Structure formats: C-alpha cells, structure tokens
C-alpha cells in the first residue's frame, strides 16, 4: 500500500496551542486540491515515454484548472468541477469521452458530487450522451429534490436543464472498442482488459474551509445488466464532510461499495480527530485544585498528515483484505492532500496554497 504526505502550513497547530492561553484561532488553512485519473496495474515497463508524458500533461492541465479556481478565491465545488471536466473530455481517461464500453458496445456513464459544507449530494448512473456527467450530478444536487437519478430518467432531467449532449461517436474510441472485443474473444474479465481503471475524480478544500468531492467514470469494460459501480454512490466512491475530509475513489467498484470506502475514511478521520483532542486535553497540566489549566478547542486543533494517512491506509487495506484493489484521493479539513492505493499505480496530482504542485503515476513516486 502506498501513500504519501507533505505537511502544509497551519496543518497541525494543536500542540503549540495547547499551552497558549487564551486560545488563539487556528491559522487559515489555505486551499488544497487532489485529483486522480484512475488506479490499476500501471507499470513503467508497459508505458512508452510518450504515453507517460501524455498522462502527466493531462493530469497537470486538470490540476491547474482546479487550482486556478481555488487561487482566485473560488469554491471547492467549482474547483473540483473545473478539474474533472477536462478529464471527462480527454480520451485518455475512462470518463465522458474515452469511457469504456458495455457488453452491448454502448457507453453508460456514472458520476457523483458532494458538498462538504452542507452534505448536499447529487449523482447519476448509467447515462448516455451527456458530455459532462459531473455537471449533471451537480444539477441533480442543486435543481432536484433527489440525490441520485439513473438511465433515461436522468437523461430527461438533463434535457430539461439544457445539459450539453454529444453523439455516440464523440465518446467512443478505438482503444476501448478493441478492449471489449479482446475481452469477448479471449473470455477475459474486466480486470484483465481494464488494467488501468481510468475513472477520474477530484477533492478540494477552499480558502473558506469548505470541502467538495466528485467522481466520474464509464465503469468497467463489458459491464452489463445495468451494473453500477461505486463512483456514483455517495459514501462509496465519493464523500465530503467539512468536519473531516473529502474523498474520491477509483478501483474495483464492488469492493468499494461493500466497504463504503469514502464515508468510512471520513468517519474514521472524524473519530481520530476526537480521540487526538481528548488525548491532548489529557496532557494539559492541572492547577492546584486538579482542574485543567487550559481547554483544548476543536478550532485550534488539527490532525497531522501522518495520522490521517494511517486511517486512510487502513481502509484501503480493508478493501484489499476482501480481494479488491484501487485507490483514493483525500483532502483533510487541515488541508493535507493525501493518496492511498494498493495497486502499482494511480494517475494523480495535488496542489496547495503552500506551493505544492505535482503529478505522479507509479506507486513509488
């Protein structure tokens, strides 16, 4: 399992604040964003230098688009949408244009989005012809009383809101057609042909402390019977909660649904935060009457990146223990942009107001 972290300014002010009375407010956390373009068996030896460079350039474009929104004071919701849309348009990824084909040779798209400020959420499953399923998911959130719409109903809803559509040939690529044919001819599983899953996602914390998460995918090659993966399921592939974190997942969806990966990570971080505050409070010196000289307040406390990473890795390990694989991107309330995966690679990137700006592919980067 891989994961890495870089502490950013103001991320963990707790212990400094512990003995400082009166309480000082936590420094503004700045902004932070992480993106992914899918996890899977991504090995250096299987990538040409041109492919490697093309993926890095595409990830950088998406990361820059999201970071620009946050740098200009925009919201986390707008930032993740700005990051996801170029990847939906890019045939390198399994979302929007370039998505994988179903058993019947069609393209059925899934997407979801969640606003960590209010925990409002929107999702669409099994839609065809929608250029940006992430926009449609957001419309479901903002313009309907529902969280999830599927199939032709979702498409009718899209039409009534003038969402942009494209013809089937715009979405379909030769690479994905060949993968489906190979799967059928050689009786392979989706995992054999989808060695790189290719789903896209983004998570962000904006300068106002609000978080958002979004995920968009074509699912898995050769899917049938209306199969839906984790990507459009709030709590499995996507979750955002200002009290803890924002998560977007990629991988073998069935396992991510069973573990409830995205919400499980947020819940674990929320409880870990509580446990660390309690531990910090227990370390505060007592006065002569045995009363703590200082009360640790949540507003001045933050989890360290390594603490959050432990919780995230534990959830990915749980997916692995059931036999699943994949990865997640996470931004915590403190602004740590983190990754975890149990695959050999994940297309990914992250940027922060503290100056981090990087993209990566392989697990050892």
Catalytic positions: 199
- Residue 307 near residue 272, CB atoms below 8 Å: yes
β-bridge partners, 352: 32
Q: What is d(CA 341, CA 315) in angstroms, rounded to the nearest whole number? A: 10
d(C-alpha 229, C-alpha 126), whole Å: 10
Task: Please check if 228 is assigned to a binding site.
Answer: yes
Tell me: is residue 182 an annotated ligand-binding position: no
Please report how close the Cβ of residue 95 comes to ligand ASP at its closest, in angstroms: 8
- Tracing tokens 């009375």 back to the chain, one arrives at 21
Is 250 among the annotated ligand-binding positions?
yes
Residue 256 or residue 273: which is nearer to ligand ASP going by CB?
A: 256
Which residues neighbour 340 within 8 Å (Cβ) at sequence distance 6 or greater? 1, 2, 3, 309, 312, 313, 315, 316, 327, 328, 330
- Tokens read off for 136: 């449609």
> Percent helix, strand, coil in the chain (nearest 5)?
40, 25, 40
Exposed e or buried b per residue across 10-28, where buried means at least 16 C-beta atoms within 10 angstroms of its C-beta: bbbbbeebbeeeeeeebee
Q: Please state, in angstroms and rounded to a whole number, the distance separating the CA atoms of residues 257 and 101.
A: 21
Residue closer to ligand ASP (CB basis): 75 or 199: 199
User: Shortest gap between Cβ of 198 and ligand ASP (angstroms)?
Assistant: 5
Cβ proximity to ligand ASP, 250 vs 353, nearer residue: 250
- Tell me the CA end-to-end span of the chain in Å, nearest whole number: 13
Residue 251 marked as a ligand binder? yes
Decide whether 141 or 220 has the Cβ nearer to ligand ASP. Answer: 220
Q: Please identify, using beta-carbon distances, which residue of 250 and 307 lies nearer to ligand ASP.
A: 250
What one-character-per-residue DSSP string does 238-264 give? EEEETTTEEEEEEE-HHHHHHHTHHHH
Q: How far is the CB of 297 from ligand ASP (least distance, A)?
A: 39
Alpha-helical (H) ranges within 172-233 are 174-186, 190-193
Residues that bind ligand ASP (CB under 6 A): 38, 94, 197-199, 217, 219-220, 229-231, 250-251, 253
Nearest distance from C-beta of residue 317 to ligand ASP, angstroms = 18
Q: Which is nearer to ligand ASP, 31 or 256 (CB)?
A: 256
Pairs from 165-173 (Cβ < 8 Å, separation ≥ 24): 165/129, 165/130, 165/131, 166/97, 166/129, 166/131, 167/129, 168/106, 168/107, 168/128, 168/129, 170/97, 170/131, 171/96, 171/97, 171/98, 171/99, 171/107, 171/129, 172/101, 172/107, 173/91, 173/97, 173/98
Supply the minimum distance, in Å, between the C-beta of residue 224 and ligand ASP: 13
Minimum distance of ligand ASP from residue 246's CB (angstroms): 17
Asked if residue 230 belongs to a known ligand binding site, the reply is yes
- Residue 28 assigned to a binding site: no
> Is 116 annotated as belonging to a binding site?
no
Known binding-site positions for substrate:
227-230, 250-253
Known binding-site positions:
227-230, 250-253
């Amino acid at each position: 399992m891989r994961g890495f972290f870089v502490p950013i300014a103001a991320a963990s002010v707790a212990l400094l604040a512990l003995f400082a009375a009166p309480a000082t407010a936590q420094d503004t956390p700045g902004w932070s964003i992480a993106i992914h373009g899918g996890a899977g068996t991504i090995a250096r030896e299987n990538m040409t230098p041109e492919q490697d460079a093309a993926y890095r350039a595409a990830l950088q474009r998406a990361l820059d688009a999201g970071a620009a929104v946050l740098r200009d004071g925009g919201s986390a919701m707008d930032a993740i949408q700005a990051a996801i849309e170029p990847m939906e348009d890019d045939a390198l990824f399994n979302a929007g244009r370039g998505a994988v084909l179903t058993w019947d040779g069609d393209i059925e798209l899934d997407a979801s989005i969640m606003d960590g400020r209010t925990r409002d959420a929107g999702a669409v499953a099994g839609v065809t012809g929608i250029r940006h399923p992430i926009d449609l998911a957001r419309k479901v959130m903002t313009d309907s009383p529902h969280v999830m719409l599927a199939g032709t109903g979702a498409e009718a809803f899209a039409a009534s809101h003038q969402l942009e559509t494209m013809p089937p040939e715009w979405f379909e690529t030769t690479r994905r057609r060949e993968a489906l044919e190979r799967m059928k001819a050689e009786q392979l599983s989706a995992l054999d042909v989808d060695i790189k899953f290719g789903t896209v996602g983004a998570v962000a914390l904006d300068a106002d402390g609000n978080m958002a998460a979004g995920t968009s995918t074509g699912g898995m090659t050769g899917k049938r019977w209306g199969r839906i993966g984790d990507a459009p399921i709030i709590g499995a592939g996507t979750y955002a909660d200002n009290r803890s974190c924002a998560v977007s997942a990629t991988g073998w969806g069935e396992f991510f649904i069973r573990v409830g990966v995205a919400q499980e990570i947020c819940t674990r971080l929320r409880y870990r935060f509580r446990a660390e505050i309690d531990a910090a409070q227990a370390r505060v010196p007592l006065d002569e009457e045995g009363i703590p000289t200082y009360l640790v307040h949540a507003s001045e406390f933050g989890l360290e990146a390594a603490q959050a990473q432990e919780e995230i890795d534990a959830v990915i390990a749980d997916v692995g223990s059931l036999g699943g694989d994949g990865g997640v991107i996470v931004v915590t309330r403190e602004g740590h942009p983190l990754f975890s995966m149990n695959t050999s690679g994940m297309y990914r990137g992250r940027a922060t107001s503290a100056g981090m700006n990087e993209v990566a592919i392989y697990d050892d980067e």
